[in-house]
Structure 1
């Protein structure tokens, strides 16, 4: 598991970045620290036990990577291609994803709670026991994915598609849904509380 040491900056409760005593936000040279983090992500195929909380990443090729027990809380991702990657026990709470691709991914026991997704694509992925609690998603695709036991409770979903998905044990309780499509999915095996699906 990544180190759970807290940033040495007084009053900051963020985790310190891997290899330093502060989080990236309070790094003496944030640009240099971010560059070092990007080099690790670009170079390594198997990434384990790192903490890059608050990192800002754009235009990065992360295809076919394996990430295990990594922390990217409160991070920002734009135009990142994660296609074909594997995530296990990773943490992305309160992060922002814009125009990111997760197609053909294997994502298990991972936390995206409180995050924002805009124009992202998770199609054709196995997303098992994953936490999307309270997310905000717009123009995002989950088509042809297995969402077994994943949790979308209190999510705000706008123009999000779940076409031909396995929704067994998925939880959509108290979600706000506008333009959401469950066509060909087994939504009757998911939990929606007392609300109607369509």
Structure 2
């Protein structure tokens, strides 16, 4: 299992960059470390128990990979392609995710809590038992996906498509929802805790 470590610099409470001993502020050259990690991610296929926290990903193809027990906590993703990638127990908590593709992914047990997600595609994915609690999700598409047991509790949701999705036991309690399309989805099996749908 990955471990998120605090910076080794005296009196610094920041998180370390990926698996380095220091945070970006106290590394000699954090861009060199980011490039090395990006090269490893692009050339590799299977990653288990790794931390990639605090990295900025932009215009990167990470399709067809496997991530298990990994952390991308506090990362930034801009125009990243994860198509066909398998994630299990992987953390994207408190990430900024923009114009990113998770099409045809297996996202079982993945955490997006507190994330800010915009213009992102999750279409045709297995999004089973995922945690989107407290996140802000805008202008994104979850159509043709299985969201069984996933949670969007206390999330801000606007301009989203959940067309032809399995929403059995998907929890939207306390969420603020605007312009959401649930066409052809089993909305009656989702949880709203007495709220209007």
Give the TM-score band, short-chain normalised.
over 0.9
Deviations 1:137-195 (A, max 9, x none): 11100000000000000110110110110001110001101100111111111101111
Matched, 1:137 2:129: no
Per the alignment, residue 127 of structure 2 pairs with: 127
Determine the C-alpha separation between the residues in 2 that align with 1:12 and 1:41. Answer: 27
Per the alignment, residue 67 of structure 2 pairs with: 67
Instruction: After TM superposition, list the pairs within 5 Å mapping 1:8-19 onto structure 2.
Output: 8-9=8-9, 10-15=11-16, 17-18=18-19
Deviations 1:45-104 (A, max 9, x none): 111222121110100001110011111111100000000000001111100110000000
1:15–1:51 Cα contact (<8 Å) kept: no
RMSD over equivalenced CA pairs, Å? 1.2
1:8–1:169 Cα change, 3 Å? same
Instruction: After TM superposition, list the pairs within 5 Å mapping 1:75-94 onto structure 2.
Output: 75-94=75-94
Determine the C-alpha separation between the residues in 2 that align with 1:93 and 1:129. Answer: 15
Moved over 4 A (4+): none
What is the aligned length? 196
Per the alignment, residue 171 of structure 1 pairs with: 171
SS at match of 1:79: strand
Determine the C-alpha separation between the residues in 2 that align with 1:103 and 1:23. Answer: 32
Matched, 1:45 2:45: yes
Determine the C-alpha separation between the residues in 2 that align with 1:37 and 1:25. Answer: 17
1:41–1:24 Cα change, 3 Å? farther
Structure 1 length as normaliser, TM-score? 0.95
Unmatched tracts of structure 1, length 5 or more: none
Alpha-carbon offset, residue 13 of structure 1? 4.2
